[in-house]
């Protein structure tokens, strides 16, 4: 089911999975008078089939004023239900920070089975991003959400209390809206799982973060599905592919990027 966050507001879906926020050049305008009127983030949510309900997964989406960031991640205000996006049983899966419009939005997944996730938020210069990502992986942390924050880059990484020893190799790639599918396919061909996507729709500049266990260079199965193509995203999901990004072109058409 496709839905959208109209500047401020949120959704929480029990027994569901969902996409990260769509990558698009049309989410926001540079300046939004009055504040809070200039962004709309699109996403898709899928209810779990009955045989997978025992996984206990839920998904949330929400947006608010940038002046409330990041404090709102500590509350239930964004989604209106469940635990806060920053709770130990949650992982934030995408983030878009729009200071010019005084808005931000995020998506997250929650589990009823344990959790034990440890969130960290860092802001670095674009020139320092790859070095920071490399250090995160060396410390058993995975980047799951990333966004420009004015001229800086803010990202979220997670460690897991049940595994503090695995070392990850992390590759940060840049792309425009048009080149995202090719860049994603290249990361997958080098063994990377795409764990975070985001950037700036206003500047048409996006990041893709690939993560792999150290030394694991075996290519990951990767498929893209066009809204008008013959390979539909539902079929790919039935085959075990997960949606890692959804690209919304300037014509409104969607390209689903999936990886297994």
User: Which residues lie below 8 Å from residue 131, measured CB to CB, with a gap of 6+?
Assistant: none
pLDDT of residue 48: 87
Place of tokens 């260079």: 217
* Residue 32 pLDDT grade (very low, low, confident, very high; cuts 50, 70, 90): very low
What range does the domain containing 55 cover? Answer: 2-259
Place of tokens 């029990």: 14
Asked if omega into 94 is within 30° of 0 (cis), the reply is no
Rounded Cα distance between 47 and 11, Å, is 14
pTM above 0.85, yes or no: yes
- Structural domain count of the chain: 1
Burial of 167 (0-12, 13-18, 19+ CB in 10 A): exposed
pLDDT of residue 5: 84
pLDDT of residue 229: 64
Place of tokens 């089911």: 1
What the block records as the tokens of 164 is 């503090």
CA distances from 208 to 44, 55, 133, 180, 226 (A): 19, 27, 12, 8, 19
pLDDT, tens digit (0-9, with 9 covering 90-100), for 102-122: 899 999 999 998 789 999 999
What the block records as the tokens of 199 is 């950037």
- Kindly tell me if the per-residue pLDDT of 88 is higher than 90: yes
pLDDT of residue 39: 87
User: Which residues lie below 8 Å from residue 137, measured CB to CB, with a gap of 6+?
Assistant: 167, 168, 169, 170, 211, 214
Burial of 35 (0-12, 13-18, 19+ CB in 10 A): middle
Cβ atoms 102, 83 nearer than 8 A: no
Collapsing DSSP to helix, strand or coil, 140 comes out as coil
Rounded Cα distance between 73 and 58, Å, is 16
Of 28-37, 102-111, 138-147, 179-188, the one with minimum mean pLDDT is 28-37
* Residue 23 pLDDT grade (very low, low, confident, very high; cuts 50, 70, 90): very high
Rounded Cα distance between 23 and 254, Å, is 10
């Amino acid at each position: 089911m496709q839905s959208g966050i109209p500047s401020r507001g949120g959704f929480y879906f029990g027994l569901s999975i969902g996409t990260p926020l769509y990558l698009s050049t049309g989410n926001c305008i540079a300046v939004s008078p009055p504040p809070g009127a200039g962004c709309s983030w699109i996403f898709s949510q899928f209810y779990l089939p009955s045989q997978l309900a025992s996984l206990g997964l839920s998904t949330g989406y929400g947006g608010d004023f940038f002046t409330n960031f990041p404090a709102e991640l500590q509350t239930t205000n964004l989604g209106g239900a469940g635990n806060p996006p920053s709770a130990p049983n949650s992982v934030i899966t995408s983030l878009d920070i729009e200071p010019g419009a005084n808005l931000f939005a995020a998506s997250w997944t929650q589990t009823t089975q344990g959790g034990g996730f440890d969130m960290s938020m860092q802001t670095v210069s674009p020139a320092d991003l790859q070095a920071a990502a490399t250090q995160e992986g060396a410390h058993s942390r995975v980047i799951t959400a990333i966004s420009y924050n004015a001229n800086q880059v803010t990202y979220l990484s997670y460690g897991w209390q049940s595994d503090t020893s695995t070392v990850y190799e992390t590759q940060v790639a840049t792309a425009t809206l048009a080149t995202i599918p090719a860049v994603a396919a290249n990361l997958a061909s080098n063994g990377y799982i795409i764990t975070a996507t985001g950037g700036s729709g206003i500047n048409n500049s996006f990041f893709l973060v690939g993560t792999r266990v150290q030394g694991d260079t075996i290519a990951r199965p990767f498929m893209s599905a066009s809204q008008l193509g013959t390979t539909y995203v539902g079929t790919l999901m039935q085959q075990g592919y997960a949606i890692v990004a959804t690209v919304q072109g300037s014509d409104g058409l969607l390209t689903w990027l999936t990886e297994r």
